[in-house]
């Protein structure tokens, strides 16, 4: 593995400390996969250099190796390198200009169209695909595949960032990528070498005593722990030279009105138009 200082911390205990801003309570296993995973950071600052030979193919092999509901493998990925197309995607994703800089953009496609073709070939219809459950399975499979690719790319010293902004204009993106009915880009991803001045910035996450529940759900004591997380997340903001803010307030505000959906509140009807009945 490429031991990039960005994606390969020296020790899992140290990485745990950076991620949670507290020490692990006991001994932890330590291996290269854990180090890469715990070192994750989104990169929005890229070099234009192409990916090294075989990197894309290895990343996609990692994606293909993710588990898949019923092994239906109902995702596809569109590899976009054409600068004009990337510029258009950057625009559609809400002027995220680093999409124009990173050499590769991956559009992760929730793809029921292949299963429709497969059913047709067998002389069958695809009644089960019309249901929300089938859509959920495909979204989950696509996300699992994409995240496997992220870890693979990071293990090679490459940076990535997901682009959910692609869903701001799902139908336009589908047209640009010439997707068939029953396929849409659920998320995009930039891939490339981080720019030389990209610093390590491991963003703290909610502590395990907030997200982990033993045997049954129990939110007792959650508020105090979230306040503690707010403090850590705000310290991160300050270290990064970003405006001070409390994660819980920003998050609560984001979900308080449909404005926080950036126009995506129409998703169900757009997906209906793209061929997903979502019964
Ligand atoms: C589904 C999804 C969509 C995302 N969309 C965007 C995006 O459009 N633009 C962006 O800059 N970051 C995007 N991100 C990255 C998140 O902002 C980032 O993962 C989060 O702030 C945590 O930071 P970290 O990845 O550096 O730990 C997205 C992440 C996910 C999982």
Among 15, 20, 39, 42, which is best to mutate for testing ligand 1, by the most ligand atoms less than 8 A from CB? Answer: 42
Average pLDDT, integer, range 43-60 = 98
Check pLDDT > 80 for residue 9.
Answer: no
User: Which pLDDT tens digit goes with each residue over 259-270?
Assistant: 889 889 999 999
pLDDT at residue 5, as a whole number: 72
pLDDT band at 7 (very low <50, low <70, confident <90, very high): confident
Ligand 1 atom closest to residue 186's alpha carbon, by position in its atom list: 1
Give the mean model confidence (pLDDT) for residues 50-65: 98
Q: Whose CA is nearest to atom 18 of ligand 1?
A: 42
Mean predicted confidence (pLDDT) in 97-115: 98
Q: What percent of the chain has pLDDT over 90?
A: 95
Rounded to the nearest angstrom, the distance between the alpha carbon of 161 and the centre of ligand 1 is: 6
Ligand 1 atom at minimal distance to the Cα of residue 205: 27
Q: Using the mean position of ligand 1's atoms as its centre, give its distance from the Cα of residue 189 in Å.
A: 10
Asked if residues 261 and 164 have their Cβ atoms less than 8 Å apart, the reply is no
CA of 119 relative to ligand 1 center, distance in Å? 36
What pLDDT sits at residue 2? 60
Between the CA of 123 and the centroid of ligand 1 the distance, in Å, is: 42
**Mean pLDDT, rounded, for 182-201:** 96
Ligand 1 centroid to residue 97 C-alpha, Å:
15
**Rounded CA gap, 111 and 125, in Å?**
16
Q: Which atom of ligand 1 is found nearest the CA of 94?
A: 8
How many angstroms does the Cα of residue 13 sit away from the middle of ligand 1? 25
Instruction: State residue 3's pLDDT score.
Output: 65
pLDDT of residue 54: 98
Cβ neighbourhood burial of 63 (10 Å; 0-12, 13-18, 19+)? buried
pLDDT at 85: 98
Residue 10: pLDDT band with limits 50, 70, 90: confident
Identify the DSSP state of 261: G
Residues with CB under 6 A from ligand 1: 40-42, 44, 96, 161-165, 187, 203
Q: Which residue spans within 157-249 are E strands per DSSP?
A: 159-163, 183-192
Q: How confident is the model at residue 8 (pLDDT cuts 50, 70, 90)?
A: confident
Query: Residue 65: its pLDDT value, please?
Result: 98
End-to-end CA distance of the chain: 45
Q: In this predicted model, what pLDDT tens digit does every residue of 11-46 receive, in sequence order?
A: 999 999 999 999 999 999 999 999 999 999 999 999
The whole-chain average pLDDT of the chain stands at 96
- CA 153 to ligand 1 centroid distance, Å: 16
Which of the listed residues 161, 203, 261 should we mutate to test ligand 1's pocket, taking the one with most ligand atoms within 8 A of CB?
Answer: 161
Which DSSP string do the residues of 171-190 spell out, in sequence order? HHHHHHTTPPTTEEEEEEEE
DSSP 3-state assignment of 78?
Answer: strand
Has this prediction a pTM greater than 0.85? yes
Confidence of residue 6 (pLDDT cuts 50, 70, 90): confident
CB atoms within 10 A of CB 215: 5
Q: Does the pLDDT value for residue 170 go beyond 80?
A: yes
**Minimum-distance ligand 1 atom for the alpha carbon of 143:** 1
pLDDT of residue 1: 56
DSSP-derived pairing of the beta strands 159-163 and 183-192: antiparallel
DSSP 125: -
Residue nearest to atom 20 of ligand 1 (CA): 42
- Summarised one tens digit per residue, pLDDT across range 227-259 is 999 999 999 999 999 999 999 999 999 999 998
């Amino acid at each position: 593995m490429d031991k990039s200082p960005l994606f390969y911390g020296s020790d899992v205990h140290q990485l745990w400390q950076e991620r949670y801003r507290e020490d692990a309570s006991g001994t932890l296993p330590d291996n290269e996969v854990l180090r890469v995973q715990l070192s994750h950071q989104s990169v929005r600052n890229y070099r234009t250099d192409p990916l090294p030979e075989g990197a894309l193919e290895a990343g996609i092999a990692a994606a293909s190796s993710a588990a898949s509901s019923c092994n239906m493998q109902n995702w596809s990925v569109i590899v976009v390198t054409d600068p004009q197309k990337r510029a258009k995607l950057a625009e559609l994703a809400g002027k995220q200009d680093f999409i124009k800089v990173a050499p590769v953009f991956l559009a992760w496609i929730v793809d029921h169209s292949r299963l429709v073709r497969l059913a047709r070939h067998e002389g069958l219809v695809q009644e089960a695909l019309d249901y929300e459950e089938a859509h959920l399975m495909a979204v989950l499979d696509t996300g699992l595949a994409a995240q496997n690719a992220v870890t693979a790319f990071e293990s090679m010293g490459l940076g990535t960032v997901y682009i959910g902004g692609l869903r701001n204009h799902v139908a336009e993106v589908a047209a640009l990528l010439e997707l068939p009915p029953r396929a849409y880009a659920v998320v995009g991803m930039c891939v490339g070498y981080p720019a030389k001045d990209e610093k390590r910035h491991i963003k703290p996450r909610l502590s395990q005593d907030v997200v982990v529940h033993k045997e049954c759900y129990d939110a007792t004591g959650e508020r105090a722990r979230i306040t503690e997380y707010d403090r850590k997340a705000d310290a991160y903001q300050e270290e990064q030279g970003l405006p001070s803010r409390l994660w819980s307030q920003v998050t609560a505000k984001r979900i308080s009105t449909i404005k926080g959906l950036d126009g995506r509140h129409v998703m169900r009807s757009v997906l209906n138009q793209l061929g997903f009945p979502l019964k």
